[in-house]
Structure 1
Amino acid sequence: MRSVVTRALLVAAGLVTAVFLATAGFLVFSRASAEVAAADQRDAAVVAAVLAVSADADDVRGTIARTAAGAEGRLSVVLADGTRLGAGGGSPVASAGGAVVSVVPGSARFPVEVFPILGIALAALGAAVLLGHRPFTPVINALRVLASSGGKRVRLSGPQELEALAASINSASERTSQLLAKEREMIADVSHRLRTPLAALRLDADAVGSGPVADRIRSAVSTLGHDVDRIIQALQPAEGELPSTCDVASVVEARMAFWSAHAANQGRVCEIDVGEPAWVPLSPDALGAVVDALLENVFRHTPAAAPVGVSVVRHAGWVTLVVEDGGTGVADPSSALHRGSSGGGSTGLGLDIARAAAEATGGTIHLERGRLGGARVRLRFGEANSHHSPASPRAWRLWRGHP
């Protein structure tokens, strides 16, 4: 802000200084030109006075030589008999005894008075910039307070407009805090309410007996309980906790151990290609939630025999996670990435969870037609501790229909 004020003051004071210098320069040079013209008139008058008393050519030549205009070769005399004395032509300025005195106008020299005027103008320009900052100091200080508030309540004194802005920011911050607190209370309440039916599910799962189906039920119940505990713990984040990273390949392999078994039970073909380790600035739980959300969409909205493919590719500072299926595709891809929007009877939050995770790393989400014939969700995560060019736009919806 201070630099903007400085530039504005420089422009305004500079224009005033330029006008002042132009006016002063014109006046100074006009005076110098008038002085030169007056000096020429005096030299011509001196020669005319000599001609009035004597027409001797030698006397006139001597007089011409003693004048400044004559010494410069700008003054000449034409006697009555037509004899020209002196150099130059010029315009007649005087006459005496039938002789005519002519002078070529001289040019004004650079006046030394310009230098003091220039110094005064520059000093005034600097003073204008320095003094001009004083009225803006309260505004700049108030803006600095606003910029450094960091979401805290703002207290400042300054122009009425900025005080009103601070009050609006405080009001919006308080409203946001209330909404966040209410949301956290709601999430905590729902999570705690889930504990009771989860406890009943655990008892029922233990009573099922043994076998692959029973093991999968117990594993699903255990995973659900873990997720509920994780949600409750996330409501109270640890202070000063360092940002976590995870290996996408490891997380995908771990989660696909569960989903592969589910696919085998349905008779699905499940293709997995995770490649080399690829680290992204997300926690393992956050990335696992993304994988689960995408695979849950596949298993819920595609036929049981539809194939599914999951792959991870690391390239040029980006880590790409692709989940595709052999289903019928997305009915309305233009709104599929909108939070809460779903055309298949679900909550519509699966793709939004994936989008938020990708954008948290500076990446993008792409919804396309896949090689298996159905939908393909392609997530680009910014690789941890790696330079990569910004990805824009963040959400793409590419859908060209069946080939």
Structure 2
Amino acid sequence: MRRLLTRALVWSAALVGVLLVVGAGALLVWSAADRAASDDRHDVTTVAAVLAVTNDPDAVRGALARTAAGTEGRLAVHLPDGTTIGVGQGTGRLTSVSTVDGSRAAVEVSSPAPPGPGLPLHLTVLLLSALLALPAALLVGRRTLDPVLRALRVLADTASEIAHRDGNARIRVTGPPELTALATAINAAADRTERLLAKEREMIADVSHRLRTPLTALRLDADAIGEGPVADRIRSAVTALGHDVDRIIESLHPVSTAAATGTCDVAEVVKTRMGFWSAHAEDQGRPCEVDLPYEPTPVPLAPDALGAVVDALLENVFRHTPPRSALTVAVVRHAGWVTLAVEDGGPGVVDPERALHRGSSGGGSTGLGLDIARAAAEATGGTIHVERGRLGGARIRLRLGESDSHHEPAVPRAWRLWRGRA
């Protein structure tokens, strides 16, 4: 781009210089010719003034010698008696003048007049000025275009960085409005692409995590089968499938999430999902307590999104606590908020701060479950709390904003709390 602009500046400056030199040179030549013609007229007038006084040849010769045209041999006088004084070829300009005795004489000026001594110098100065002005014009043009070139360079480098290295890079361009508009369009396209990629990764991660629920059920059923080659093959297949799902989840980059739009009743969703998990709790000898309100508990989440949250929380309980550990699930509605709490009698969460980050877990899992729950809570303007529960283990408490309650989002949105044993 720099070479292209430099060539354009060179050609433009050269064209302007040629036009200026030709135009100014023509004006100089015309001015010199006009000045020479004026000098010739002055010389003719001088000779005519002498003829008006005397026709003496010597006096006329003296007058011719005192004029520039006469000195150059371009001036002649044709007297009435046919005498010619000076140099004349009869092809110059003839001017008729009156003599002292009333007769007519002719003054001849040969043309064209030679250029004055200053014309070549003036033309040389003009040409040198044009040659010196060319690099100066290039320098000024380059300095004027430097901001545009810098803006283009930043635009190209950032676009390349977005495409090949860092999808989070954005263009900050100051320059002409056209480049600013182009940078804004590229940034908008990059933002949209990032959102689409985040959505795709999130969908894959969430779908993969939802597979953990039936896998957990299969693992529990396989444990209940007993011993034998068939049971071993089933357990091996379930374990391999679980590892594959874990690798899919771990291969995805952490991204921010947003729960699906819609409305559901928290108590109804929990009641439906506990029909599945209660059976497995019974198989493991887990005490399982469910406390649901009779009143509606609507929240702005799709039923599938909230069902995935319940499955994620309970799957963590079954995965990270020993069999026969107690389990309670409670839903409470109060002051525009619906609270979903899941407690267990296991060892608890060692690092609550780390557990709430996608892709991080202190218990050997993917760490996606609590992140799904956090995203769902924050999508309603609520919060998530990791606490020590009354059963001695972890209590995960989701505070969900009730539908149409028009309350402000809680700040901070993802507050973490780990209290001592209750």
Which of the five TM-score ranges fits, normalised by the shorter chain? 0.3 to 0.5
TM-score, normalization: structure 1?
0.46
TM-score normalized with structure 2 length: 0.44
Bigger Cα Rg = 2
